[in-house]
Structure 1
Amino acid sequence: MNDHPDEPSQVNERNLRVLEAVLFASVEPLDVHSLLAYVGEGADIANLLITLQQRYAGRGVNLVQRGDKWAFRTAEDLGFLLRREENETRPLSRAALETLSIIAYHQPTTRAEIEEVRGVATGKGTIDLLMEAGWIRMRGRRRTPGRPVTYGTTDAFLDHFGLESLSDLPGLDELKGAGLLSGRLPSTMQIPLPFDGALRDDEDPLDPDDLDGEDENA
């Protein structure tokens, strides 16, 4: 006979409190693998996260998903109360905003492909700026002459712009209305479904020296 009929419920409640504490304390969103280390084997981490998300629905802070990671964030309708002052001394240029938008929608993409869409050269400094912000990353190298580096967005990009996944990206008209794409871009430009999973068949893994910089000629 089980002397503790509520034990499974008590374990779930304890796990929920642990997840709540860990997620509150973390500055960056955490993935399921990282969270499992705190609740132990056998825990239904996916169900626990959904339960916790439901408990915080409608509160001042919400549990949100950013890609495959989770984090507590201020409720959207209250964001204006806690919006921090921007301390960037150099705001993103039009070139950087356009480059970021093109990478987000066309990933994986190379610098040459970005330039083809924009119709102008894209300086390496623009790419470096977006990488320093943590919004884009080098994915791999395209299996074409010159083996150019391919770029894609990061979970930090999703978190900064309040997106759960790339499928939540706004449409082309919204981007133009927000000033993220200029009239210089082709009027026939189409937005494909972005791909940000594992390397595609036309991509090779990055070389060891890519972490120290790359020279893309194509």
Structure 2
Amino acid sequence: MAEDDDPQAPAESLFEAPPMGEQERMVEAILFASADPVPVSDLAARMPHGSDPAEALAHLRKRYEGRGVQVVRVGDAWAIRTAPDLGFLMHKEVVEERKLSRAAIETLAIIAYHQPVTRAEIEEIRGVSVSRGTVDLLIEQGWIRFGRRKMTPGRPVTFVVTPEFLDQFGLESARDLPGLKELRAAGLLDNRPPPGGPGDEDDDGEDGDQSELFEE
């Protein structure tokens, strides 16, 4: 009897995963159609049983190296984004709906570099009080969110940056934020002294000392 006719031979699985090349195409289609970064768990839920989206992502990321778009990691998720060196081509399509105040930018920077951080810690670093409007604006923008409460008297709430913040600035994680020297070289940081003392409010137009924002 031929081997293929052996009734004891194991039957071919009805749930055999697609070839890796086909899995790459599936991952590519999902990322291309999604406006937001997609976690590996979501990819696995959409793909056929037995697929390996993590391996497909690794192959896809390598295939896109040096291309006009790249497969990038954003926190715990993945997305297809324009190559950083070609970002200037997109400038005409970027619409700035609302410009952040200097107080909001400083508060956002402190949260990004010191997270998880409480309101009191933000005020200590800036040297001025943080208005509720500044925090509410950053939450509305989707760039910060509430973190865990600190195990200190009063159990103050903390703030952390969101995956949307990382995606907006092309960062894989908060560890990829530029250092103090890089910010100064880019003209994004100066050493102007603070115009007022700790009693100043950030919503009255006063600004804190930027030189204390980023500690190396």
Q: TM-score, normalization: structure 1?
A: 0.77
Q: In the alignment, which residue of structure 1 is the partner of 2:200? A: none
Question: Aligned pair in 2 of structure 1 residues 174, 106: CA closer, same or farther (>3 Å)?
Answer: same
1:173 aligns with 2:181: yes
Higher mean C-alpha displacement, 116-125 vs 79-88: 79-88
1:18 aligns with 2:26: yes
1:126 to 126, 134, 151: 134
Higher mean C-alpha displacement, 74-83 vs 183-192: 183-192
Q: Assess if the C-alpha contact under 8 Å between 2:115 and 2:160 holds in 1.
A: yes
1:86 aligns with 2:77: no
Q: In the alignment, which residue of structure 1 is the partner of 2:67? A: 59
Quote the Cα distance in structure 1 between the aligned partners of 2:86 and 2:34: 21
Quote the Cα distance in structure 1 between the aligned partners of 2:62 and 2:69: 12
Q: In the alignment, which residue of structure 2 is the partner of 1:49? A: 57
Quote the Cα distance in structure 1 between the aligned partners of 2:154 and 2:119: 12
State the AA in 1 paired with 2:215.
I
Q: Assess if the C-alpha contact under 8 Å between 2:74 and 2:167 holds in 1.
A: yes
Q: In the alignment, which residue of structure 2 is the partner of 1:140? A: 148
CA deviation map 1:92-144 (0-9, x unaligned): 11111111110011100001100000000110111111111111110121222
Tell me, what secondary structure is at the counterpart of 1:141? coil
CA deviation map 1:61-92 (0-9, x unaligned): 1111111110001111211112323231x311
Q: Assess if the C-alpha contact under 8 Å between 2:17 and 2:50 holds in 1.
A: no
Higher mean C-alpha displacement, 46-55 vs 33-42: 33-42
Q: Assess if the C-alpha contact under 8 Å between 1:19 and 1:38 holds in 2.
A: no
> Identity of counterpart residues, as a percentage?
54
Question: Aligned pair in 2 of structure 1 residues 95, 180: CA closer, same or farther (>3 Å)?
Answer: farther
Q: After TM superposition, list the pairs within 5 Å mapping 1:87-126 onto structure 2.
A: 87-88=96-97, 90-126=98-134
- Aligned residues between the structures: 187
Unmatched 5+ residue regions in structure 1? 193-218
State the AA in 1 paired with 2:22.
R
Quote the Cα distance in structure 1 between the aligned partners of 2:62 and 2:109: 32
- Deviation, structure 1 residue 59: 1.3
Q: Assess if the C-alpha contact under 8 Å between 2:189 and 2:211 holds in 1.
A: no
Q: In the alignment, which residue of structure 2 is the partner of 1:191? A: 215
Moved over 6 A (4+): none
Quote the Cα distance in structure 2 between the aligned partners of 1:186 and 1:180: 9
Higher Rg: 2
State the AA in 2 paired with 1:87.
E
Tell me, what secondary structure is at the counterpart of 1:142? coil
Quote the Cα distance in structure 2 between the aligned partners of 1:125 and 1:180: 23
